[in-house]
Structure 1
């Protein structure tokens, strides 16, 4: 399993970031998947995301100053994937940090390293989308 982190300061207050980036917007901002469906399960939101030849459910939960999400169930490319999106005031704006822990379910040499490299790109694309929204 590998962990990747990406962070940057955006020109918005934390409330503006939380209001603009709900679970479907986060999936779209990462750039690898499109949103197929959204289901509210009370304390969680399930977003079914799809890409070329793949579909996976992502379970989003709101926690203290954090959006936490993970691949829901065994359907998807990961044996383990969880991500935290955190916002905190910083330098007249908001520091947005995305941290993800990932392990690929395929038995490939260096599979986790490849999954982390791909995941890091997704986190950076999400931060670019967040930043450009408030530019």
Structure 2
């Protein structure tokens, strides 16, 4: 598994940023998958998303400082993927940090997990850019 972290300043209060960070918008902001369905669960939400014949489910939980989500089982592009989104007050705005661990689960993990981390880092950067534009 590889860990990637991306952080950005967003010129909006933590309350505004947290309201904008819903399970649906996070998936939309990342830009790789389209949300097909969002279901409430006892623990949070499950987002079913898809792209180019691939479907995955992401289980989301609300946290005090943001969100946590993980790919359910092997129903997606990764063998395993989990992400934390933390929102903290900073300089009359917010510092949003997205930290994700990913694994492709292929026979050469040093190379395949590096590729997965590279792809994931791009998704997280895209998400933070879209969030900053949205709020």
Q: When the two structures are superposed, what TM-score results if normalisation uses the length of structure 1? A: 0.94
2:48 maps to which residue?
48
CA RMSD between the two structures: 1.2
Question: Secondary structure of 2:79's partner?
Answer: strand
* SS in structure 2 at match of 1:105: coil
Residue pair 1:43, 1:61 contacting (<8 A) in 2 also: yes
Corresponding residue for 2:3?
Answer: 3
Matched, 1:120 2:121: yes
The alpha carbon displacement at 1:53 in A equals 2.1
User: 1:47 & 1:105 partners in 2: Cα distance?
Assistant: 22
Alignment correspondent of 1:58 = 58
Q: State the 1:66 CA deviation.
A: 2.6
Q: Which runs of 5+ in 1 are unaligned?
A: none
Distance 1:70 1:61 in 2: 9
Counting only pairs closer than 5 Å after superposition, residues 30-45 of structure 1 correspond to structure 2 as 30-45=30-45
State the 1:73 CA deviation.
2.1
Q: What are the within-5 Å matches in structure 2 for residues 1-135 of structure 1? A: 1-108=1-108, 110-134=111-135
TM-score (norm 2): 0.94
Q: CA deviation at 1:65?
A: 1.1
Question: In the aligned structure 1, how far is the partner of 2:9 from the partner of 2:103?
Answer: 28
Q: Residues 38-85 of structure 1, C-alpha deviation per residue, up to 9 Å, x if partnerless?
A: 110122200011011210000000122130000012212222110000
Runs of 4+, deviation exceeding 2 Å: 105-109
How many positions carry a matched residue from both structures?
A: 134
